[in-house]
Structure 1
Amino acid sequence: MKKVLVIEDDKMIKTILNHLLGKEGYLIDFAMDGEEGARKLLHTDPDVVITDIQLPHVSGMTLVTLSKKLNPNRPVFVVSSLGSETEIVEEALAQGANEVLTKPIAFEDIAAKIRNVLLLEAV
């Protein structure tokens, strides 16, 4: 069973992702801030990471860098409420994010994106 680490401080998004990804059969772990997210990245080795950009204590951008440093092949999705501001998107992609998703999130697309990236990884 593939493990997904969701680092998100919005409880509503957490609840929706838990339901949606759980239905897809993923084992989901959550971190409510960047510090907890960094700790879980270091100790749980998830298969996929979904992180918000704006988090308390440690930024999502720092978490993208840490995740890729620990496992360069791990897919990382970044969620941003900052819209499609070019510099945010470019920085996230430069740090190794697979994709930047803007809020409001099309939740149904997230499961498909994770499934696709994991299928590509298996090939």
Structure 2
Amino acid sequence: MNSKKKIVMAEDNSTLSLLLKFRLEKEGYQLFIAEDGKKAIELIEQEHPELILTDIMMPYISGLEVISHVRNKLNLKIPIIVFSAAGQEEMVLKAFNLGANDFMGKPFSPNELIIRVKRMLS
């Protein structure tokens, strides 16, 4: 794998972001972190990632709006994995209806995320 696959991650929890950035980069991915949905959309449009990881609840623009923008405005088929705190079934269903490919409830295992990322990008 000479060119690293790009991932944009939208997550407003900086501790979680740094942990996941460390783990994903160790696996050979190039990670771009957005602390809110607005920045996520900018990074997606600039970097053309192969995968998007997004939290649902974020400042300015929610993860649901990010999914909608990617699917409807940019017309991209990039795989999207959504994170959300447990007990938000309605949000999760909305995310899938908007075009999310996978969902992980928080808290989740970084090892499980790595497996899901590899599966999406293989």
TM-score w.r.t. the length of structure 2 is 0.90
Aligned match of 2:84: 80
**Structure 1: distance between partners of 2:57 and 2:110:** 19
Select the residue among 27, 30, 45 that pairs with 2:30: 27
Which ranges in structure 1 are unaligned for 5 or more consecutive residues? none
Looking at structure 2, the residues matched to 67 and 84 of structure 1 have their Cα atoms a distance apart, in angstroms, of: 25
| Secondary structure of the structure 2 residue equivalent to 1:74 | coil
The answer to whether 1:61 aligns with 2:64 is yes
Residue of structure 2 equivalent to 1:100: 103
- Aligned position for 1:11: 14
Q: How far off its partner does 1:85 sit?
A: 3.0
Structure 1 residue 37, shift from structure 2 partner: 0.9
Give CA deviations for 1:70-101 in whole Å, capped at 9, x if unaligned. Answer: 253201011101x1432112111111101111
- Does the 8 Å contact 2:6/2:47 carry over to 1? no
The one-letter code matched in structure 2 to 1:12 is: T
- Percentage of identical aligned residues: 29
> Alpha carbon RMSD of aligned pairs, Å?
1.2
TM-score, structure 1 as length reference = 0.90
Q: Structure 1 71/46 Cα, relative in aligned 2: closer, same or farther at 3 Å? A: farther
Count of equivalent residues:
118
